Each structure stands twice: as C-alpha cells, then as structure tokens.
A and B are shown apart, each in its own frame.
Chain A
Amino acid sequence: MPIDKTFNRRQLLKTTAAVGAAGAFVASTPSILRAAEPDKPSEIIVRAWGGPWVEALKNGVSDRFTAETGIRVIHDLTEDNEIQPKVWAAVAQGRTPPIHINWDTTTNATKSALRGVCEDLSDLSNIAGTTDLAKPVGVEGYPIVNTYGYVYVLAYRPSAFPDGPPKSYHDLLDPKFKGRLAFYNDGIGFHFPAQVAGGGSLDGIPDAMDPAWEFITKMKAQNPLLGEDPDFVTWFQNGEIDAACTISTNALGAKKNGVDIAWTVPDEGAKFDTDGLWIPKGHSEGDLYWSKAYINSALTKESQQIWLDGLGLPGVVPGLTPPPGMAGDPAYPTKPEDFERLIRISGQVQVENESEWFSKFKTIMQG
C-alpha cells in the first residue's frame, strides 16, 4: 500500500476545495449578514511552538479569538517538522488532520503547499490590509499567509568581545572561540552569509555555492556546537558558547532570563525569513470556516501588536509599534533600508535545495 495516495484522492481534494471556497465566501461577508454561518466547532487545534512562543500567540490571537467566537483554542506543541508527516499522512489517507491551523516556518509550509495539502486563503478579508511580506513567494495564491519576519542574527556574549561586537563571521575564526560557537544543526541561517564570507555572491545561490562550503569547512575547524532553538538559549544560559547564528527571538529569550547577550548583523548580512499560518485540507466545512476566521483575526492590527510584542518581531500589518527596545534594532527591520543588509531567498529555491544544503552541511560538520 503506497503511503502517498494523493493522486487517487485528487477528486476528493477538489471537492473539499470547493466546499472551502463556499465557506470563505461566507467569511468575507459582513458579520450582520452571518445568518448562514456554519456550525461552530467547540474547539480548534492550533499547532504552536512552546514556551514564550505559544504564550505570545495565546495572548495576541487565541484568547481574543475565543472571547469573540466562544470557540476554545487548543495549542498542540508538537514541533513544526514533527507534525508535518502526521498532517501529510492524514491528508493522503483521507483522514481529518490532527490540527486545524499550522503555525509553521514559511519554508516548511511551502513544501506542504507544493504538495497540495494547504487550503487556499486568498479570500481572507484582512489580507487586503497587509504588506507584501504576507504573500508567500514561489507559490500560487495564498496557501500560506506569512504573519511576521525574523532575522538570523549573530548573537554574542559581550564579555567575550571586549573590542566591540563581531563585525564579520571571519572574526569567529579566532582560535579563542574554538568550541565556543553554535549553529543550527542543519546550518539554516548560516548558509547564505557563509556564501558571502567565503567570497561568493548571493547570485551563486543555489548553483555556485562552493564559497559557502569552503567557509563552513573553515568554521568546522572551530568545533562549533550544533542545535535547535532551545539549545541556543540553554547554551548561552550555561555559559557553553560565546557566539551563535540564531533567530533573534532566542537571543531575546535568553536576555529576558538575565543572560548578558547582544546581537548584530555582520558585514556578510543576515538571512531574513518569515513564519506563517496555514490550514491543512480535510476539515469539515464548519471547521474550515472557523479556522479561516482564526487566521483572519491573526491579521488584525490589535492581534499582531500583542502577538509580536511577545516575540519581538516585525509584523505584516503597517503601523505597528515596535516592542520596547526593538525600534531601530537590526533584528526589527521595517524600512526598505533596514532590509539592505538582510538576505531574502525565495521559498521555492529554498525548499528545492534545502535538503542538499543540509546534507552538505552535515557531511562537513559530522565528518
């Protein structure tokens, strides 16, 4: 029995898509006319990252949604990449997916969109009020709505850099940082600055990335640690590392826990990426309608403000007030010139080449 039965199920998917479009039509009509609102589910399940992430989502979006609609929101804290095979299998097997809404990295979500497991969200009324950032690159329509951006900064412990912040990734090749550096275990966020640091150009992505691999090989000699989001916080807290290429939110988290930490965008630039929300196919009409309503409410200015204050990240609705201390921060880009030093590569190029970059990085680091 093949795992992948999507082809046999195209017909079914078409049907659900039609039902979904009908639901969306209702969603976009003014609320006084909502006599035809489909039945409310008693609860919807939103996948979220734990700790400060889910806390921020709850305050900014979920609690407000519950207050407005009376629908309880359950947060499923399974990791985004661990929920993916579960959702894919459910759609392929024609089962109801385990979650209503996936809060996902845009790259990961793009894979699901290409595979055709995402509901189209083009008809959400609040998309009209969003910036370009909300639109996913490299896919048709809105299978995903991006909800904010983030930067893979170079976070560092100021006490380890008495002469001021590191200006370049080359500064980290100093022997005194041997064993004191950390990267993501798939190298994500570091591939592109490494391409620049190795003397290559961003146009060389994805076809001419030898400069990146050469620079990463040099970095390997420094014996860096490799981990995921929680590891960085732990390592900074426990004094295991002096510098790391990580999402600014992690650095902010460590800072809130009293760790002396700062961050910068080095000369090579820093990868900018987005996270988004999407709905897997296979839900009933009512569930889909109210899941869309949830995402729509996440795009209101009020929800974005509270949610993103918690994360310290720039949203997709114009006119948000930066969280305390983040105005003008390189990790809080808002104006075009802020983006000049940031590297943004299309989601499609990323998903098509990611596994190759990943295995190259692993081969170098694990060798």
Chain B
Amino acid sequence: MNRPRSQQIVYWSLVILTLLTLSAPTFVVLGASFTSGNIIQFPPDGFSLKWYAAIIGEQNLRDAFGRSLIVATICVLVSLPTGTLAGIALSKFRIRGANAIQIYLLLPFTIPLIGSGIGLMLAFGDAGILGNLWPIGIATAVINLPFMIWAVSSSAVGLDPDLELAAQSCGAGPVQTFFSVTLPAVAPGVITGSLLMFILSLNEFLVSLLLVDARIVTLPVQIYNSIRSIITPDLAAVSVVFIVVAMLAIAALDKLVGLEIFLKSK
C-alpha cells in the first residue's frame, strides 16, 4: 500500500525519535562497560575487558544470577496458568461485575511496589516462608500478573466461539475442547505474556529487596545495592551480559515460534 509522503515523514520522525530514546542508554551502558578507567563514563576512557574479567571472577554474581533464573522460572510457572485462565475468562464471557473484577486484578499496578513489598514481607513472614526463593517467584508473579492477563485477553479477540461449538458437537468434552481449540488460539498471547513475565521477574528489585536475605540475594537486588554505594563499570558489564542473554533468548524465540507472534492477535 502506498502511503502519502507527509505521513511517511511524520511517522518516521516519531519512530526514529522513539528508537533513539529507547536505545541511547543501552549504547551508553554498552560503551561504558569497556572502559579501562575506574568510573562509568561515555565515551569510555580507553578500551579494556577488565570489568568483564572482574565479574566473571565473582562467584557472588554468578550465584545471584542463578537464583534470579530460578525466581523467574517460578514466576512463569505460577503466572502462566493463572493469567491464561483469567485472560480467557475475561475475554470470552460476559461477567457480572466485570469492571470491579478488572479494578481488583489491576491492584498489582495500583499498589506502589514498596507497599506490595512491605505487605508481602509481613504476610510471608507470619506464614514462616521467608528465606526461600519460591515466595519471591510468587511475589514477582503477583506484581506483574496484569501483563500476563492482558497479553492473553488481547490475543483472545480472535478466539471464535463457533470453533469451540464445532469441537463439542464432534464429541469433544470441555477439557479436550479447552486444550485442542481454546488454548492454541490464544497461544501467541500466552507466549508474549510468559516472556514478559520472565524478563520482568528477572529484573525485579524493589519487592525482592524486602523478601531476600543475604543468603538468597538475587541479581537485580545485588545490583541495586551496589548502585547505592558507588557506581562502577562492573555494573555496566553485568548489564551487557544481561543484554547478551536477552539477545540469545530472543534469537531462540525467533527460531522456535517466530518473532511475528508478538504482532498477531489471532
């Protein structure tokens, strides 16, 4: 489809502006990680890999990263079924009091993270489960749950109720209908949502800060605490490692399901 030149200009200038805004800090952090000096600066002061050598030698950081992966995995395991069911329910059915339920399910976003953190710390503390990693996984699942619900319900627009009827009239029970017809239809949303949940959980620091102790500290909490003292280039290097891991994850996703999946609502 041919588009008018004026539209092209307006859109592209906004897109380029957005691209710059999105990517500028990434490039600065990337560059700063290669500095041979002792403070974060851009352009970097000389070139060296010493900050990478420094973080590779850090057993603490590796352990923390491993724990973060566990937390993020638990987060996805919890939020995937929960959010998928809720997303389908909200998009497929007419529900009494839907607005109230929506406001309730948006609580994770309307409660400031510090409030969620303090509340969960007290609740988990009384339940005697602090000191484990899994409550942190659950916590990150709760505070990001609206993303999962949203991702599923937006892809469920394309869910055709006639298909479900057809399956049932062919003799499929409700369970089989759900797994063979409903779930595949919302699969793109489930995948987008799960990936978002994984990333957000992997990066969560404020609520986790209140739920970890020194023995089970996660990587973002470790980074947040280090930043509170003095920001050194090793943190930039850690971020770059994160970016590389992200690239690999995105490449894997592209291979497995194709990135276009994020752009489809059906």
> Among B126, B128, B217, which residue has the most Cβ atoms of chain A within 10 A?
B126
**B209 within 8 Å of A by Cβ?**
yes
**B214 within 8 Å of A by Cβ?**
yes
Q: Is the CB of B126 within 8 A of A1?
A: yes
How far does the alpha carbon of A45 sit from the alpha carbon of B131 in the complex, in Å?
A: 14
Minimum C-beta distance from A85 to chain B (A) = 7
**A82 within 8 Å of B by Cβ?**
yes
**A226 within 8 Å of B by Cβ?**
no
Q: Is the CB of A50 within 8 A of B214?
A: no
**A49 within 8 Å of B by Cβ?**
yes
Given A77-B222, A78-B209, A86-B121, answer yes or no on A257-B39 (Cβ-Cβ < 8 Å).
yes
Q: Is the CB of B126 within 8 A of A234?
A: no
Chain A residues near B39 (CB-CB < 8 A): 237, 257
Chain A residues near B225 (CB-CB < 8 A): 50, 77-79
Given A78-B225, A82-B209, A257-B39, answer yes or no on A45-B214 (Cβ-Cβ < 8 Å).
yes
Minimum C-beta distance from A121 to chain B (A) = 22
How far does the alpha carbon of A28 sit from the alpha carbon of B125 in the complex, in Å?
A: 35
**B255 within 8 Å of A by Cβ?**
no
> Among A75, A79, A93, which residue has the most Cβ atoms of chain B within 10 A?
A93
- Within B48-102, the residues touching A (CB, 8 Å) are none
How far does the alpha carbon of A230 sit from the alpha carbon of B217 in the complex, in Å?
A: 21
Chain A residues near B128 (CB-CB < 8 A): 95
Instruction: Report B212-256 CB contacts with A as 1/0, cut-off 8 Å.
Output: 011101000010011111111000000000000000000000000
Chain A residues near B213 (CB-CB < 8 A): 45, 76, 98-99
Given A1-B126, A89-B121, A237-B39, answer yes or no on A99-B229 (Cβ-Cβ < 8 Å).
no
Q: Is the CB of B227 within 8 A of A230?
A: yes
How far does the alpha carbon of A195 sit from the alpha carbon of B122 in the complex, in Å?
A: 40
How far does the alpha carbon of A106 sit from the alpha carbon of B128 in the complex, in Å?
A: 31
Q: Is the CB of A74 within 8 A of B125?
A: no
**B210 within 8 Å of A by Cβ?**
yes
How far does the alpha carbon of A211 sit from the alpha carbon of B141 in the complex, in Å?
A: 51
Q: Is the CB of B214 within 8 A of A98?
A: yes
Minimum C-beta distance from B164 to chain A (A) = 45
Chain B residues near A37 (CB-CB < 8 A): none
How far does the alpha carbon of A177 sit from the alpha carbon of B260 in the complex, in Å?
A: 54
Minimum C-beta distance from B21 to chain A (A) = 21
Instruction: Report A37-57 CB contacts with B as 1/0, cut-off 8 Å.
Output: 000000001000111111000
Partner of A233, one of B118, B210, B215, B230: B230
Given A95-B125, A99-B214, answer yes or no on A230-B130 (Cβ-Cβ < 8 Å).
no
Partner of B118, one of A74, A85, A93: A85
**A240 within 8 Å of B by Cβ?**
no
How far does the alpha carbon of A50 sit from the alpha carbon of B228 in the complex, in Å?
A: 7
Q: Is the CB of A45 within 8 A of B38?
A: no
Chain A residues near B214 (CB-CB < 8 A): 45, 74-76, 78, 98-99
Chain B residues near A320 (CB-CB < 8 A): none
In the complex formed, the residue of B with least CB distance to A52 is: B230
Chain A residues near B209 (CB-CB < 8 A): 78, 82
In the complex formed, the residue of B with least CB distance to A77 is: B225
Given A45-B215, A77-B222, answer yes or no on A53-B126 (Cβ-Cβ < 8 Å).
no
Minimum C-beta distance from A44 to chain B (A) = 10
**A3 within 8 Å of B by Cβ?**
yes
How far does the alpha carbon of A89 sit from the alpha carbon of B121 in the complex, in Å?
A: 8
- Within B119-141, the residues touching A (CB, 8 Å) are 121-122, 125-126, 128, 130
Minimum C-beta distance from B125 to chain A (A) = 5
How far does the alpha carbon of A79 sit from the alpha carbon of B201 in the complex, in Å?
A: 22
How far does the alpha carbon of A3 sit from the alpha carbon of B125 in the complex, in Å?
A: 11
Q: Is the CB of B227 within 8 A of A3?
A: no
In the complex formed, the residue of A with least CB distance to B221 is: A78
**A253 within 8 Å of B by Cβ?**
yes
Chain A residues near B122 (CB-CB < 8 A): 3, 89, 93
**A229 within 8 Å of B by Cβ?**
yes
How far does the alpha carbon of A62 sit from the alpha carbon of B122 in the complex, in Å?
A: 31
Chain A residues near B230 (CB-CB < 8 A): 50-52, 230, 233-234, 253
